[in-house]
Each structure stands twice: as C-alpha cells, then as structure tokens.
Amino acid sequence: MTTRRDFLQKLSIGIGAVTLLPTSSKASIFSIPSGNEKKLRVALMGLGGYANIVAKAMKTCKRAVLTGIVTGTPSKIPVWKSNYGIADKNIYSYETLHTIADNSDIDVVYITTPNSLHYKHVLQVAATGKHIICEKPLADNAQQAGEMIAACKKAGVKFFVGYRLHFQPHTREIIRMREAGEFGKIMHVNNYMGFKIGDPSQWRLKKGLAGGGAMMDVGIYALNGARYATGEEPLWVTAQETKTDPVKFAEVDETITFQLGFPSGAIASCGTTYNFNNYERFYLIGDKGFAELSPAFGYGPIKGRTHLGKMPQQDVIHQAAQMDGLADCILKDTPDPNMTGEEGLKDMIVIDAVYESIRRGSEKIYLPAQTTL
C-alpha cells in the first residue's frame, strides 16, 4: 500500500533538481515590433491537428514566424511546404533531428506530439541547444517534468509550456483584477472543462500515448485556472472518478471531479470529462465581487462578466497571441513565469495527487510546499 510518505518521497525525487522560483501571475505584455525588429523563428515538431492550428494562427503573428517542421510522416511534407513555404533545409525527421543544432534558421522547437512523447522529445531537442515550447500537459508526471526542466537548464536552453490562455485578454484582466484586490478575499473557485470525445481509436484514449484521459488533456485547464484565480498553490487535493463506459475508457479516465484547498482558506471545486459537451466554465467568488467566463478555456470566443458587468475585452487568435508573447520572452530574455517549464511542473504535481487520491478512494492528499504565484 502506498502511504502519504511514499507519495511525497517519490514526488520529491522527481523535482529535487528543480527550484520552484517565486513567480508573478502577470503574463508578459508583448510589444509591437518595428519593421526591422528580429522575429522568433519556429519549427513545429509533430504535424497533427494542433500543429495545423498553430501554423495557421502564426500567419498573423508580428513577432514569430514558422520556418521549419519535424515529422515522422513524409507524406505531409509537400502540403506543409506549399502552405507555409518551408524550405527543404528546414525539414527534419525524428532521426535527423539532432542536425537541427547547426540550423541558424530555427530558434525554437514547438513540440506538439502526443502527451507521453513530450518527455522524450524535450530531452532530444534540449540536446540540440534549441529553445523549447512544449504543449500541455508538460509530461506524464511530476518526476518526468522535473527531469525535463533540469535537462533544459543543463543545456542552457529556455523551456516554456504552451499555456495560451495566459496571453488571452479576458484571463489577463481577471488576473489583474485579482492582484489589484478588486474581488477582495477569494472564497471559492468553480472550474470545469470537458467534451464528448469521438473516435475510439484515437491516441487520446491510449494511455501509452496520452498518459491519462480527460484530466491530463483538458482538466489541466480547470486546475491551472484555479491556481491563477487564487494566486496560490494548493495545500491538499481530493478527487473522484466516474466511468460509465469501461470499454471506450479502458485505458484512461473518463470523468473526474476534484477539490483543492489553498493556504488562504479558498476552496476550488473542479471537474473534467470526455463523456459530455457544454462543460466549460471559470467562476471565481470573492467577498467583494466575482468573475465568470463561459466559454472559458477553448479556442474562443471567450465570453465573460464580473460584478462590474460584461467584460469588454476583445477575443484574439489565442495561438498567435501566445507565439508573439513567447517571442517577446525569448528574444528579449524576459521569461514569463507563467509560461515556463516550472509552471507546467506545478500543475503536474497536483495532477499526480489527483490520481493518487483516486487510487486511495478519494483520500485527501497533502501536497509538498510550493511557492505561491
């Protein structure tokens, strides 16, 4: 039987080489470049559905430009060359990836491969000396995430996680209001994110590629949202799993609800699912006001209101805002603390505890002390 001490010891081994630095919850505000300002040159690694979304969004970027691709499917190459003008010398397979080290046309590799490949691919890219953006979730668990961060530090490369919402105007305004005390003392957070998943043969339903189910894929939005809603790191976690289709969800979780307790006394009640639609909301309650986003975590349009009324912020192309923002971070050497590998690790620590609580019959899991936002 795994004890609480065993869980914390295993967790500390995984993150022992990593210092979780104090962070600000303000996302970096990127500047509009002049015509002569350098652009961040990006290679996408893994040309699946999300890579296509990122690539299309980058056509509107001011600070970042797509210059390369890494793929294990040669048949995709002609389409990407045609659509995005990728030069032959900037096209790599997984076997030739090591040679990207000598390519001055590429500054950073954005890894959008299936979740359980992130660990392997981050270590591969770090060894080439290129900066890295890794799509969420960062890894399968906190131990892997800690090793990835350590490898990037050893290689001297910048390491970011693809939390696009930290550059989304509604989210940024809620964080600003919370930091300014406009909600007062945060009392409660109610976040959920999920959808009815389709094709039963897809990689998201295979543990060997996905690492987990709804919790890893979209539950992480509810979790990360609870952390920036409070500006704190949770002290404890409890969680429950429901599985109505044990055949389709034989390898991964279907529906999970989880609760978080924070140092200030705030409580978050969150949920995630792969079994039904119309399940997407961010709701923050303070003793002086509230904020609600619904839809809250998808690609947009995001819609919100607070105790002051409807939020007037315009939605943006999320991936374009993220890439321009990260270009600012990398080119100006001003890393955004809410986009670094350490931020991704903090979520993985909590996700590990969610699964541990479920394994122990919804037992309350106490977390190791982490630096607050």
Separation in Å, CA 226 to CA 48, 220, 246, 274, 285 = 29, 10, 29, 20, 11
Helix (H) or strand (E) holding 17: none
Length of the chain: 373
pLDDT in tens, the chain (373 residues): 555 556 656 665 556 555 554 444 444 344 444 456 799 999 999 999 999 999 999 999 999 999 999 999 999 999 999 999 999 999 999 999 999 999 999 999 999 999 999 999 999 999 999 999 999 999 999 999 999 999 999 999 999 999 999 999 999 999 999 999 999 999 999 999 999 999 999 999 999 999 999 999 999 999 999 999 999 999 999 999 999 999 999 999 999 999 999 999 999 999 999 999 999 999 999 999 999 999 999 999 999 999 999 999 999 999 999 999 999 999 998 878 899 999 999 999 999 999 999 999 999 999 987 656 5
Every domain range in the chain assigned CATH 3.40.50.720: 24-164
Spatial CA neighbour of 73 closest among 89, 56, 90, 92: 92
DSSP state of 340: B
Architecture in CATH of 169-315+340-366: 2-Layer Sandwich (3.30)
- Exposed / middle / buried, residue 255 (Cβ in 10 Å: 0-12, 13-18, 19+): buried
What's the CATH superfamily of 24-164? NAD(P)-binding Rossmann-like Domain (3.40.50.720)
Separation in Å, CA 72 to CA 53, 109, 123, 134, 149 = 19, 15, 17, 18, 25
Residue 11's pLDDT is what? Answer: 63
The DSSP annotation for 173-200 comes to HHHHHHHTTTT-SEEEEEEEEE-----T
Q: How far apart are CA 122 and CA 164, in angstroms?
A: 19
**Cβ count within 10 A of residue 145:** 31
Q: Which residues 6+ apart lie within 8 Å of 113 measured at CB?
A: 45, 46, 48, 121, 135
Residue 124's pLDDT is what? Answer: 98
Q: How far apart are CA 294 and CA 82, in angstroms?
A: 37
Every domain range in the chain assigned CATH 3.30.360.10: 169-315+340-366
Q: By three-state DSSP, how is residue 164 classified?
A: helix
Q: By three-state DSSP, how is residue 359 classified?
A: helix
Q: How far apart are CA 151 and CA 119, in angstroms?
A: 10
- 8 A C-beta contact, residue 101 and residue 126: no
Q: Which residues 6+ apart lie within 8 Å of 305 measured at CB?
A: 291, 292, 311
